[in-house]
Amino acid sequence: MFSVLSKVEILNVKNLNIENRRVFGPGDWGNTGRYIWDAANIKYSNRFLTTQMVFGYNIMHQPNVFPNVNKEGTYAFATFNSIKNLPFLIDLFYVYKYDETGKYISESNISGNLYASYIGSKVQKTHHNLNLMFLGAYQFGKYATDKISAFGITTQLNYKFNTTWKPELMLTYIYASGDNNLKNGIHQTFDGIFSGSDTDLYSWMNFIFWKNVHQYRADLILNPAKKISVRSEYHAYFLDKTKDAWCFPGKAMRQDKQGLSGSFVGQKLDFISKIKIFKWFQFWGGYCFFVPGDFVKKTGNSPLAQWFFGELTFIL
Give tens-digit pLDDT for 189-217.
999 998 877 677 888 888 899 999 999 99
> Does 31 fall in a domain?
yes
For residues 205 and 234, what is the distance between their CA atoms, to the nearest angstrom? 13
Q: Is 1 part of a structural domain of the chain? A: no
For residue 116, give the CATH number of its domain: 2.40.160.100
Please give the C-alpha separations between residue 149 and each of 59, 94, 211, 236, in angstroms, as whole numbers.
27, 15, 13, 26
Inside any domain, residue 101: yes
Q: Rounded to the nearest 5 degrees, what angle is found at the Cα of 273, between the Cα atoms of 302 and 157?
A: 80
pLDDT tens, position by position, 113-132:
999 999 999 999 999 999 99
Is 36 domain-assigned? yes
Q: CA–CA separation, 78 vs 89, rounded Å?
A: 19
Which is nearest to 204 in space by CA: 285, 292, 137, 138? 285
Give the CA count within 13 Å in the CB-facing half-sphere of 54. Answer: 26
Residue 54 predicted with pLDDT over 80: yes
Asked if residues 197 and 174 have their Cβ atoms less than 8 Å apart, the reply is no
- For the beta carbon of residue 88, count every other beta carbon within 10 angstroms: 11
Q: Does residue 300 lie within any of the structural domains?
A: yes
pLDDT of residue 235: 96
Is pLDDT above 50 for 153? yes
41 pLDDT above the threshold of 70: yes
Asked, for residue 2, whether it belongs to a domain, the answer is: no
Alpha-carbon distance 20 to 261, whole Å?
Answer: 34
Q: What Rg, from alpha-carbon coordinates, does the chain have? A: 21
- Whether 66 maps to a domain, the answer reads yes
Q: For residue 302, is it within any domain? A: yes
Percent of the chain exceeding pLDDT 90 equals 60
User: pTM for this structure?
Assistant: 0.88
* Sheet strands (E) in 144-280: 146-160, 168-176, 186-187, 213-225, 228-238, 245-248, 251-255, 264-278
Number of domains present in the structure of the chain? 1
Residue 14, pLDDT above cutoff 60: no
| H or E segment and range at residue 62 | none
Task: Identify which of 35, 63, 22, 61 has the alpha carbon closest to the alpha carbon of residue 202.
Answer: 22
Average the pLDDT over 221-242 and give the result: 94
Q: What is the DSSP letter of 299?
A: S
Dihedral (Cα; 176, 180, 185, 191), 10-degree rounding = 20
Q: Which of 67-71, 248-252, 281-285, 312-316 has the lowest average pLDDT?
A: 67-71
Distance (Å, whole) CA 73 – CA 26: 17
Rounded to whole angstroms, how far apart are CA atoms 142 and 245?
Answer: 20
Q: Which amino acid is at 235?
A: H
Q: Fill in the DSSP letter of residue 60.
A: P
Peptide bond into 67 cis (omega under 30): yes
237 residue type, one letter: Y
Give the separation between CA 307 and CA 314, rounded to whole angstroms. 24
Count helices and strands in the chain by DSSP H and E runs = 1, 17
Structural domain span for residue 290: 7-314
